[in-house]
Structure 1
Amino acid sequence: MKTYSISTRKKQVFISLGLMSGMAVALFLFEAFFFHNIYLIGINWNLFLAWIPVFIVLYMEKLVSSNLNQPIKILGYSIVWLLFFPNAPYIITDLVHLYPYTNNGSSYWHHQIMIYTFAFVSLICGLLSLYWIQKIWTACFSQALSRVFTFTSIALSGYGVFLGRIERFNSWDFFIHPMPLAKYVLHSFSNPTAILITFEFATFIGLAYCMLYSLIHLNDQ
């Protein structure tokens, strides 16, 4: 059995993500202590949720490194990963919270950079986890299946953002309120807003992933 270890390059990525996450939290703490405002405290929880897909993929990589013949486990963890993946791009929609500060001078710009920082690091966490899980699927199944899974994940994440921001469902509802969630999903296929938001966010996430993928392979011959 091979011993799993995180590569030096991946450690550097985690350090960068950790520093950016630290900056985001520091900006919130600055607002909380100096402006006595914790209106956006929930964005810290959203950042934590955005990290969950990364941790799931790390565990999946550990499984794969020990034994490639674990397709059932990989499928199971992939489903759990998919439930949390939309939390990463979801934070982009937290820009809606800028509205109360529009005419508030420097406070507006502080909130803008704070939310941008949370949204950026969360999106990168999600896209990197998608890249790594695609590699896992290629190793465990096939390149064709990994591409199908990637495309499906991107499409479903767009729908997940709609469910989270517009309908206020979250990842936990899959476990806590499965029937109301399933009932709404079945009725939402004829909802023009659901179709539009899903398409727009899925397109954005897909193109962002293409950019990340291209940058990762920039020096490939």
Structure 2
Amino acid sequence: MLKRISPLEKMLAVAIAFTMTLLVVRVLRYHDNIYIFYIWNTFLGILPLIFSRRLAGMSGIHLRSVGLMACWLVFFPNAAYMVTDIFHFSERPPVPLWYDLLIVSSAAWNGLLLGIISLMQVEHFLARHLKGLWVKAIVLVSFVLCGYGVYIGRYLRFNSWDAVTNPETLFFTVAGHLFKPYHHLGAWAFSIGFGGMFGIIYYTLQQLHHHKKSAPQNEERFFIS
């Protein structure tokens, strides 16, 4: 059974509803469905959160939890992928430029939140069963894997379903990147760069959470001193 929806997840639902409302109004008002793909991309971005919530309710590392982890990892890049949808942003009269900017920027934020919250839940699960050093290593590797997943999705046009429907092509593509990295410097530069950006945002939000929890105590020390 899924755990109760957290306040952070409630805000995420509000953020997604905001973007979807903007999108629906755009279609009804201007009869332009250029950004209708955000509905599908948002659905794909929600999938890793669904897997991570199920994983968070697991009591140990076993075949089922490992399977959920694998499903989460396959779909994890779909959330952050939404950041790159900003490439579709351009002026499209008569739609106001600022209106489309709200759509693409809020959708990018939704994608980041979906990825970050799901990773937080996975990290919390791992922290209950593994040593801290292993957990940190897995999280750091997940940043790069996320960036790599976004790269092969955006530039090579692979998607998560290709792991089942087109595994041979996907396997040889990934193998080429792994065993001949010097021939694919752009792929790894993007993967590390995007993963680094995602990691900075991830740890920044974590620190904001810790700062909020310790703020009353810090303020008390400030006034005493």
Provide TM-score, normalisation by structure 1. Answer: 0.88
Q: State the percentage of identical aligned residues.
A: 25
Match of 2:221 in 1: none
Match of 1:12 in 2: 7
Are the counterparts in 2 of residues 98 and 108 from structure 1 also a CA contact under 8 Å? no
Alignment of 1:16-27 (within 5 A): 16-27=11-22
Match of 2:222 in 1: none
Q: Indicate yes or no: 2:84 matched with 1:93.
A: yes
Change in CA separation of 1:108 and 1:176 when aligned onto 2, cut-off 3 Å: same
3-state SS of 2:157 partner: coil
Match of 2:210 in 1: 217
3-state SS of 2:96 partner: helix
Match of 1:198 in 2: 191
State the Cα distance separating 1:192 from its structure 2 match: 2.2
State the Cα distance separating 1:110 from its structure 2 match: 1.0
Match of 2:71 in 1: 80
Q: Structure 1: where are the runs of 5+ without partners? A: none
Are the counterparts in 2 of residues 84 and 171 from structure 1 also a CA contact under 8 Å? yes
Q: Structure 2: where are the runs of 5+ without partners? A: 218-225
Change in CA separation of 1:83 and 1:4 when aligned onto 2, cut-off 3 Å: closer
State the Cα distance separating 1:196 from its structure 2 match: 1.8
State the Cα distance separating 1:72 from its structure 2 match: 3.0
Provide TM-score, normalisation by structure 2. Answer: 0.87
> C-alpha distance in 2, partners of 1:82/1:165?
17
Q: Which runs of 4+ in 1 moved over 3 A?
A: none
Are the counterparts in 1 of residues 2 and 54 from structure 2 also a CA contact under 8 Å? no
Q: Which amino acid is the alignment partner of residue 121 of structure 2?
A: W
Indicate the RMSD between aligned Cα atoms, in angstroms: 1.8
Q: How many residues align?
A: 210
Alignment of 1:1-221 (within 5 A): 5-6=3-4, 10-64=5-59, 68=60, 70-99=61-90, 101=91, 104=93, 107-188=96-177, 189=181, 190-218=183-211, 219-220=213-214
Greater mean alpha carbon deviation, residues 195-204 or residues 20-29 = 195-204
State the Cα distance separating 1:105 from its structure 2 match: 7.5
Change in CA separation of 1:5 and 1:42 when aligned onto 2, cut-off 3 Å: closer
> C-alpha distance in 2, partners of 1:162/1:32?
30
3-state SS of 1:39 partner: coil
> C-alpha distance in 2, partners of 1:175/1:106?
39
Change in CA separation of 1:216 and 1:71 when aligned onto 2, cut-off 3 Å: farther
Change in CA separation of 1:130 and 1:106 when aligned onto 2, cut-off 3 Å: same
> C-alpha distance in 1, partners of 2:138/2:12?
25
Are the counterparts in 1 of residues 49 and 114 from structure 2 also a CA contact under 8 Å? yes
3-state SS of 1:140 partner: coil
